[in-house]
Amino acid sequence: MRKKVIAGNWKMNKETTDVVQFVEEAVASLPNSEAVEAIVCAPFPYLTLLVEKTKGTTLKVSAQNMHFADDGAYTGEVSPVMLKDIGVTHVIIGHSERREYFAETDETVNKKIHAAFKHGLTPIVCVGETLAQREANETKAHVEKQVELALGGLDEKQVAETIIAYEPIWAIGTGKTASSADANEVCSHIRKVVEKVTNAETAEKVVIQYGGSVKPANVDELLSQSDIDGALVGGASLEAASFVKLVEAGAK
Ligand code: 13P
């Protein structure tokens, strides 16, 4: 059985006092279950604080992006070596907001995934279609291409350890959630793509999350689907109480 992975993506939100308050509230009530993994994906300035505050708890800490190089003349960038050095375990790669506003491409996504594995970080790799692509019936073809390019050159073990987040762009921050059936259809397709590029055994292992307006009210329905193994959550992960409810849903 694949475990459920609930990741809260805070995006560019929160200040120190909010971070401290969140962790204190969340770690006091997160379920202690082998069935679920809980991760917070925070802005760079708060990662060290979060690693310190979550020590000895089940809550894991993720970055929201990184550069693919170990070091060098890349002003303003953060490397996988640095993330590993401070105790971060996961990193979001290829979020649609980075693809749209910060020139992230399938090629840089692939380089960053390789760099994450090189340094023992688990990548949470985002894929998903625009509304225009969905309306043109191009969802599966688009997501298939993104997944294939993202996983290019990885070995089976690395693919099995990659977390793939299916986030339809039209559902992000809009309150519009894909129906659980539609979300599951694409997540199943992603699993087939993983099988095509590796094998059935690896495809069975890979965790595929859904993201896009997930909240406590719809998470049970989404997680009950055959190929949805968790959620990548923006808005509803900002409050500790709401985040805990999402993790509790994953532990059911
Ligand atoms: P929302 O949950 O706010 O729609 O954001 C989803 C997302 O982009 C998570 O990475």
- In angstroms, what is the span from residue 173 Cα to ligand 1's centroid? 6
Residue 175 confidence (pLDDT): 84
- In angstroms, what is the span from residue 228 Cα to ligand 1's centroid? 16
- In angstroms, what is the span from residue 237 Cα to ligand 1's centroid? 9
Q: Which of 104, 167, 189, 248 is catalytic?
A: 167
Residue 60 confidence (pLDDT): 98
168 Cβ closer than 6 Å to some ligand 1 atom: no
Active site residue 95: yes
d(CA 235, CA 252): 22
Active site residue 104: no
Residue 177 confidence (pLDDT): 82
Full DSSP string of 31-66: ---TTEEEEEE--GGGHHHHHHHHTTSSEEEEES--
Q: Which residues of the chain have pLDDT under 70?
A: none
Enter the pTM of the model: 0.98
Cβ atoms of residues 114 and 68 within 8 Å = yes
250 Cβ closer than 6 Å to some ligand 1 atom: no
Number of C-beta neighbours around residue 158 at 10 A: 19
228 Cβ closer than 6 Å to some ligand 1 atom: no
Residue 178 confidence (pLDDT): 85
